[in-house]
Amino acid sequence: MKKLLIVLGGLAVSLNVYAQQQNQNSSGDQVAKNLSQIYQMAKQNNASYKAAEAQLSSDNENVPIALGKLLPTVDLGYTAKRSYSSAAVSSGARKNYLSQSPSISASQVLFNWGSWGGYSAAVYQAKADAITFAQAQQNLILSVAQAYFNILQQQDNVVYAKANQSWNKELLNQIEEKYKVGLSAITDVQASKAQYEQSVAETVQAENALATAYASLAQITGEQINAIENLRNDFPFDKPQPADMKKWLDIALKQNLNIVQNQYLFEAAKEGVSGYFGAFLPSATLNAQASRALSYQNQNYTSGTNTAEADVTVSWNVLNGGADYATLKQQKYTTDAAKYTLLQSQRNTTSSLKTSYLNVLSDISQVAAYKQAVIAAQASVEAMKAGYEVGTRTIVDLLNQQQQLFNAQEQYAQAKYAYINDLLTLKQNAGTLSYQDIDKINQWLTAKKQPTMLVNGTGDQSKSKPSSTQTSQVEQKAQ
């Protein structure tokens, strides 16, 4: 009886733990997250992004630091002094002396060309630093999107690999049965078995790639994600708008972040030249001071005086050993370097944008081509298998055609998601990439499982093998 109670108690605990795990999986971890949700997670947790955000806050303080050199400065002072005297006096008592002197001093720059130039340079530098943070934002958007669609691509590859493995396994079983009754040669069995083993290895490789893709996304978001939403099959693979490369170039030359940043850096360098030129000009400063002196003898007030004064100090650095001249010359070279860096960024942007635009157009063609290649390869496999069964095709022909179908499916998956990544890269080169692009793409995601172009022409892992006509119907529904 005790043993029975122990067994029942252990069973109850096990069922309780299992129920808790199921509730946890159904309530949180296994819920598919979409692209917008993952991007918000990355904004909160991505270390590189948070570092860029903190660095921007730090850099913004350079402007008030530079401005402080042009604003008034005020100093407060206080001096207290106590003295003792043991000299003989008529009363025979010692004297105790206390003096106090509170003071205040203020100064205001009336003219300092170098400080004004330094302030102007700091303003442009702050704008360039803000662009650095904007670049971090765009990089985060692109990184999240690339990691997200890499997962979807690897998921498709896993589905294709498992379907390919299932197909090869079924073919191997059929050939082995034929070999047992003398209708197939041992070479067919060996060839089919080799292809099956390769398909098993490809499945393992695809699953590992999927796990690695999820790990890469977790590195970006700082949290483990177990499921994401799928891309709808009616996603439009349209040409980028405007559908004119020249218009994209015009936008990029005005808004590309690298160009804009280098423009600010060039302006900051020019203001730096102006600031260093101020070392050769006189400077003027208004100074004012006020103080009060109080004296006490044996705690008795004896005297007090008030003083106040104001002056204007003018200084002119006539010679500083040639260091000021060398510093000014150095800054001019820095300005020239900034000018050529700006020119190079414009050229790089022009080249990168043209490449990105053409990549998008190429992706559109490849999506259509590989999709048709999958459909054609599916029909070829069916025809090749029928030919093998009647003896007009060899097993090698059939296996090669099946491998071509699998390769076409992987290429189709790669082309689909490459289009989205290249479109975002195009917008990044143009300087127009923002979180709104994430939200637009997010509208084409769904938590529902979408039909995938499999080797058996269906959207699941069923063992049925529809005809080519049925396959075409399935593909038309998936559009």
- What CATH number did the domain enclosing 58 receive? 1.20.1600.10
Mean of pLDDT values over 263-271: 91
Predicted local confidence at residue 17, as pLDDT: 36
* Geometric angle at alpha carbon 176, from 171 and 180, rounded to 5°: 150
Q: Are residues 306 and 328 in the same domain?
A: no
Q: Are residues 184 and 151 in the same domain?
A: yes
**Which of the four pLDDT bands, split at 50, 70 and 90, describes residue 462?**
very low
Radius of gyration (Cα) for the chain, nearest Å?
A: 39
Q: Are residues 333 and 400 in the same domain?
A: yes
pLDDT exceeds cutoff 70 at 3: no
pTM for the model stands at 0.78
Predicted local confidence at residue 300, as pLDDT: 66
Do 256 and 351 meet the contact criterion of CB atoms below 8 Å apart? no
Predicted local confidence at residue 362, as pLDDT: 95
Lowest mean pLDDT segment, chosen from 97-101, 123-127, 331-335, 443-447: 97-101
18 belongs to a structural domain: no
Distance CA 471, CA 185 (A): 31
58 belongs to a structural domain: yes
23 belongs to a structural domain: no
Query: Which of 273, 294, 315 is the last residue in one of the domains?
Result: 315
Q: Are residues 206 and 217 in the same domain?
A: yes
Predicted local confidence at residue 473, as pLDDT: 34
Q: Are residues 40 and 107 in the same domain?
A: no
Rounded to the nearest angstrom, the gap between the alpha carbon of residue 144 and the centroid of all alpha carbons in its chain is: 6
Q: Are residues 343 and 274 in the same domain?
A: yes
* Geometric angle at alpha carbon 295, from 290 and 298, rounded to 5°: 160
pLDDT exceeds cutoff 70 at 244: yes
Distance CA 237, CA 474 (A): 20
Lowest mean pLDDT segment, chosen from 129-143, 240-254, 279-293, 371-385: 279-293
Distance CA 292, CA 306 (A): 4
Paired residues of 340 in beta bridges: none
Distance CA 42, CA 468 (A): 45
- How many helices (H) does the chain have, and how many strands (E)? 12, 6
22 belongs to a structural domain: no
pLDDT, mean over the chain: 83
15 belongs to a structural domain: no
**Which of the four pLDDT bands, split at 50, 70 and 90, describes residue 414?**
very high
244 belongs to a structural domain: yes
**Which of the four pLDDT bands, split at 50, 70 and 90, describes residue 153?**
very high
- Domain boundaries, position 205: 31-70+112-281+321-477
Predicted local confidence at residue 280, as pLDDT: 78
Q: Are residues 177 and 203 in the same domain?
A: yes
Q: Which amino acid is at 145?
A: A
Looking at the structure of the chain, the number of domains it has is 2
Q: Which amino acid is at 435?
A: Y
Q: Are residues 191 and 84 in the same domain?
A: no
Q: Are residues 78 and 184 in the same domain?
A: no
**Which of the four pLDDT bands, split at 50, 70 and 90, describes residue 5?**
very low
Residue pLDDT, tens place only, 21-54:
444 444 344 688 999 999 999 999 999 999 999 9
1 belongs to a structural domain: no
Which residue has better confidence, 277 or 244? 244
